[in-house]
């Protein structure tokens, strides 16, 4: 591509039907805001000069796209043509090239549609090229009007269309490529003479064609690329569409799904062949999962990397790393900064935070490990707690290789348990334990003979009165 291309993303609308303070482009599809899908499509198409038109609660989008896009504020929502006019200073700076226009609420237009559309636009010497698709239910979209020869004639909105025009199933995706100079000139000529009293961007097609300039349509084979969300039902449809697109791709790559109920996997997740995903598994953010794992049921992973041959059953994990051949669950939470090394075993009702658990270490039941560095081959008894917080500061616990932490041990940090050291069950360990030693820190047993018998006879006396 020798010609320069910039992009304008229309994202000023409120999306009234969402009934929310969140600008519509910030609503998420598979855990990723729609606007990010759109920006990513530009970036993957090699377009880095991007201007976002914001309006409704504009601060939210401005903050979100900072560093990736310029922004302009459309103070009044007077239609898509008016929105593009708001960005005219940006477009003027790119006057010698072409402008890609995208809707901030239509996340599925990818670089694989954008790039061939740009090629066709340039090859045909068009002033404008609209990206279209034929869809089963065109309700609500602008329809593409064509001459009997099949050339594009214009776009008519649902509200302005005749009954006959409403039968047309080829629709306007809301994505276009314009020659920048042609766009700037034609924008000045549009008027709000239509059913909605808005400045329609789509009117630029008529204006350009009237001036003898070329308009074309790039028709996508995939009807899903044009889908947008106008309300929450539409958003759910987008999520389900994206969900199954990813599940189908993963199946082609050798991933097995026993049941897709409640399964949602984000666009930035890679999963190795032979891995089985069970029901209720949600994987979001940047995650990579190796081969031959079993993930689920009821597991949620966010920004988590998992090796191969690992089983995660009812696990919640954020910003963590899990090695190979690890077994975790059921009902385990891994909080940010956790690293579980190869062959470790983490059992039920265990929470681990900001800690490293060494190779083959077992933390089998009812345990909290926070801010700790745990060696390899360590065994945790049931109910161990690292006491990492004194109400003001957090401290670390260090446990050497092959140590044995007795049941119900409190490890009061900062504290260090040596290699192959033991702690006695029920101990509250407040001092470092040397390598190979046993530490028992609890009061000695006191046996009071006859105490229970006396209590029992008192109770019997009271009840027989
Ligand atoms: C628009 C198109 C329609 C197309 C559809 C595809 C026009 C006149 N119609 O209709 O042909 O089939 O998109 O989804 O262009 N926006 C602003 N400022 C405004 C108005 C809108 O920034 O003043 C933004 C919205 O936030 C949204 C996009 O532009 O991201 C499209 O606006 P919307 O009102 O949803 O247009 P549609 O009626 O769906
Ligand atoms: Ca729309």
DSSP-derived secondary structure for 303-340: EEEE-SS-EESSEEEEEEEE-SS-EE-SSEEEETT-EE
Ligand 2: centre distance to CA 113 (Å)? 19
pLDDT at 50: 98
- Provide Rg for the chain, Cα atoms: 31
Predicted confidence (pLDDT) per residue in 160-186, tens digit = 999 999 999 999 999 999 999 999 999
Mean pLDDT of 276-292: 98
Among the bound ligands, the one closest to the CA of 80: 1
Atom of ligand 1 at shortest distance to CA of 9? 30
Cβ of 10 below 6 Å from ligand 1: yes
Indicate whether 100 pLDDT > 80.
Answer: yes
pLDDT at 3: 87
pLDDT at 44: 97
Mean pLDDT of 211-230: 94
Smallest CA separation from ligand 1 atom 3, residue: 142
Indicate whether 18 pLDDT > 80.
Answer: yes
> Which pTM was predicted?
0.90
Cβ of 161 below 6 Å from ligand 1: no
Cβ of 72 below 6 Å from ligand 1: no
Q: Pairing relation of β-strands 143-146 and 152-156?
A: antiparallel
Smallest CA separation from ligand 1 atom 26, residue: 13
Indicate whether 465 pLDDT > 90.
Answer: no
pLDDT at 230: 86
| Cβ neighbours of 335 (radius 10 Å) | 16
pLDDT at 389: 93
Smallest CA separation from ligand 1 atom 36, residue: 80
Indicate whether 242 pLDDT > 90.
Answer: yes
Closest CA relative to residue 432, chosen from 414, 418, 416: 416
Indicate whether 141 pLDDT > 70.
Answer: yes
pLDDT at 264: 97
Mean pLDDT of 40-57: 97
Site to substitute for ligand 1 among 80, 137, 195, 225, most atoms within 8 A of C-beta: 80
pLDDT at 200: 97
Q: Is 311 left (phi over 0), alpha (psi -120 to 50) or beta?
A: beta
Mean pLDDT of 373-384: 98
How far is the C-alpha of 331 from the C-alpha of 338, rounded, in Å? 16
Indicate whether 2 pLDDT > 80.
Answer: no
pLDDT band at residue 372 under the 50/70/90 scheme: very high
How far is the C-alpha of 115 from the C-alpha of 174, rounded, in Å? 16
Ligand 2: centre distance to CA 350 (Å)? 46
Q: Which architecture does CATH list for 255-439? A: 3 Solenoid (2.160)
Cβ of 12 below 6 Å from ligand 1: yes
Ligand 2: centre distance to CA 70 (Å)? 22
Indicate whether 334 pLDDT > 80.
Answer: yes
Closest CA relative to residue 436, chosen from 457, 453, 421: 421
Atom of ligand 1 at shortest distance to CA of 103? 30
Ordered alpha helix ranges (H), 156-229:
163-166, 180-187, 203-210
Cβ of 367 below 6 Å from ligand 1: no
Mean pLDDT of 210-221: 97
Cβ of 201 below 6 Å from ligand 1: yes
Atom of ligand 1 at shortest distance to CA of 14? 26
Site to substitute for ligand 1 among 103, 156, 161, 238, most atoms within 8 A of C-beta: 103
Look over the chain and give the mean of its residue pLDDT values, rounded to a whole number: 96
Mean pLDDT of 429-447: 96
Fold of 5-226: Spore Coat Polysaccharide Biosynthesis Protein SpsA; Chain A (3.90.550)
CA angle 322, 316, 247 (to 5 degrees): 85
Atom of ligand 1 at shortest distance to CA of 141? 12
How far is the C-alpha of 164 from the C-alpha of 211, rounded, in Å? 27
Ligand 1: centre distance to CA 392 (Å)? 52
Tell me which of 49-53, 138-142, 377-381, 406-410 is least confident.
Answer: 138-142
Give me the residues paired with residue 328 across strands: 312, 346
Domain ranges of the chain: 5-226, 255-439
Among the bound ligands, the one closest to the CA of 105: 1
Backbone angles phi, psi at 136, to 5 degrees: -65, -45
Cβ of 130 below 6 Å from ligand 1: no
Q: Could you list the active site residues?
A: 365
Ligand 2: centre distance to CA 173 (Å)? 9
Looking at residue 25, the DSSP 8-state letter turns out to be: G
Indicate whether 1 pLDDT > 60.
Answer: no
Cβ of 143 below 6 Å from ligand 1: no
Ligand 2: centre distance to CA 450 (Å)? 82
Query: Is it true that 5-226 and 255-439 share their CATH fold?
Result: no
Reply yes or no: is the peptide bond before residue 156 cis, omega within 30 of 0.
no
Ligand 2: centre distance to CA 141 (Å)? 8
Cβ of 228 below 6 Å from ligand 1: yes
Mean pLDDT of 217-222: 96
Atom of ligand 1 at shortest distance to CA of 104? 30
């Amino acid at each position: 591509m020798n010609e320069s291309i910039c992009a304008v993303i229309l994202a000023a609308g409120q999306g009234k039907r969402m009934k929310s303070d969140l600008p519509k482009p910030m609503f998420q599809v598979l855990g990723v805001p729609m606007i990010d899908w759109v920006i990513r499509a530009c970036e993957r198409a090699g377009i880095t000069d991007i201007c976002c038109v914001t309006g409704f609660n504009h601060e939210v989008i401005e903050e979100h796209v900072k560093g990736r896009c310029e922004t302009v504020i459309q103070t009044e929502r007077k239609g898509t043509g008016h929105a593009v006019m708001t960005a005219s200073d940006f477009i003027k700076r790119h006057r010698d090239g072409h402008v890609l226009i995208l809707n901030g609420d239509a996340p599925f237009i990818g670089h694989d549609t954008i790039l061939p559309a740009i090629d066709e636009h340039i090859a045909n010497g068009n002033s404008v090229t609209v990206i279209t698709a034929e869809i089963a239910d065109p309700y609500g979209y602008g329809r593409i009007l064509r001459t009997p020869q099949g050339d594009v004639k214009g776009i008519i909105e649902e509200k302005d269309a005749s009954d006959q025009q409403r039968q047309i199933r080829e629709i306007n995706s809301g994505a276009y490529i314009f020659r920048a100079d042609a766009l700037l000139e034609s924008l000045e000529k549009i008027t709000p003479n239509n059913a909605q009293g808005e400045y329609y961007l789509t009117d630029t097609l008529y204006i350009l064609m009237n001036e003898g300039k070329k308009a074309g349509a790039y028709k996508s084979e995939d009807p899903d690329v044009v889908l947008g969300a106008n309300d929450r039902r539409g958003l759910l449809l987008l999520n389900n569409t994206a969900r199954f697109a990813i599940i189908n791709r993963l199946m082609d790559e050798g991933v097995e799904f026993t049941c897709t109920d409640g399964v949602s996997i984000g666009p930035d997740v890679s999963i190795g062949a032979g891995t089985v995903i069970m029901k209720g598994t949600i994987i979001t953010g940047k995650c990579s999962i190796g081969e031959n794992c079993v993930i689920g049921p009821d597991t949620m992973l966010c920004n988590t990397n998992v090796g191969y041959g690992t089983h995660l059953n009812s696990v919640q994990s954020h910003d963590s790393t899990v090695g190979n051949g690890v077994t975790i669950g059921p009902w385990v939470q891994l909080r940010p900064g956790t690293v579980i090394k190869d062959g470790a075993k983490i059992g039920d009702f265990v929470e681990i935070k900001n800690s490293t658990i060494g190779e083959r270490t077992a933390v089998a039941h009812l345990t909290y490990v926070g801010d700790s560095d745990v060696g390899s081959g360590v065994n945790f008894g049931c109910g161990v707690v690292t006491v990492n917080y004194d109400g003001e500061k957090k401290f670390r616990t260090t446990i050497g290789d092959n140590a044995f932490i007795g049941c119900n041990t409190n490890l009061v940090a900062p504290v260090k348990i040596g290699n192959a050291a033991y702690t006695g069950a029920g101990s509250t360990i407040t001092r470092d334990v040397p390598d190979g030693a046993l530490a028992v820190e609890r009061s000695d047993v006191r046996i009071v003979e006859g105490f229970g018998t006396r209590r029992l006879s008192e109770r019997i006396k009271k009840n027989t009165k």
